Amino acid sequence: MPAGLDTAHRTAARVAAIRAPHPGTDALRPKAGPRGAGGGAAAEVLAPVVHISDRTPRPPRDGAVRHAHAPRIDTQNRVNLGKALGALGWSPQTLLVAARENGHVVIRAAADSPLLIRVPVDADRRLTLPPAVLIALDVRPGDQVLAGVVVDTAELHLFAVADALQLLTGTLCPEVEAGSVPAPAPRPAGGSRVRGRWVAADGRGRVQHPSEDRVEG
């Protein structure tokens, strides 16, 4: 048995401890070709390699200070962003305006302008999202919004959490494209809330609206 202070033995033990149990691409042996003619050519083909790690380099970070929050919209279209407003130094007295940029909404503390959307803040430092912001983000009460606080530029970026997660995980239903989803059926003229009567026609049921009733003479 070699001595414990043997440099070669100690190095071999350390390498064996950190070596991965799976063979690398340079350690795979060629496939065993069929016996007979042509076996040498088939033996030169390496076995298929399954890549189990992503070695794509990440983009460099700019070092800016950012904070993330994902509150849920309540029934009054409000989001609790007290920590975000505190990081930016905003208070209920701060005049906040919103603008749509690159598919999301950016909120800034600026002077009032008819071209920008006013975003109210209550005493509990909750933002009330105006209808224009809800439409721009395609969200409604109960949905989550992703609030990205950029301290260096004093901006609050709002995204829909559903859009951010889809960008992260990728589209799971590629066949669903823009324009392929059928449009909802138009509501009857007049906006009546009276439900139609169920009638059977040609062996298939349908809902007959009261406007379709006719008085037979």
Give the closest residue to 97 by CA, choosing from 78, 116, 115.
116
Whether 35 shows a pLDDT value over 80: the answer reads no
* Number of CB atoms found within 10 A of residue 139's CB: 23
Over residues 137-151, the pLDDT tens digits come to 999 999 999 999 999
Q: Which amino acid would we find at residue 172?
A: L
Q: What percent of the chain has pLDDT over 70?
A: 59
Separation of CA 125 from chain center: 26
Is residue 10 predicted with pLDDT exceeding 90?
no
CATH numbers and ranges of domains, the chain: 66-168 (3.40.1550.20)
pLDDT level of residue 209 (50, 70, 90 thresholds):
low
* Torsions phi, psi for 92 (to 5 deg): -60, -20
Rg (CA), the chain: 32
Single pTM value for the model? 0.56
Nearest-angstrom CA–CA distance, 130 and 141: 12
CA distances for 66 relative to 11, 69, 129, 149, 190, angstroms: 44, 10, 22, 5, 50
Specify the higher pLDDT residue, 75 or 22. 75
Could you read off the pLDDT of 115-136 as tens digits, one per residue? 788 999 998 889 999 999 999 9
- The pLDDT value recorded for residue 215 is 45
Report how far apart, in Å, the C-alpha atoms of 161 and of each of 45, 50, 133, 146 are: 47, 33, 14, 5
Residue 217 confidence class, pLDDT cut points 50, 70, 90? very low
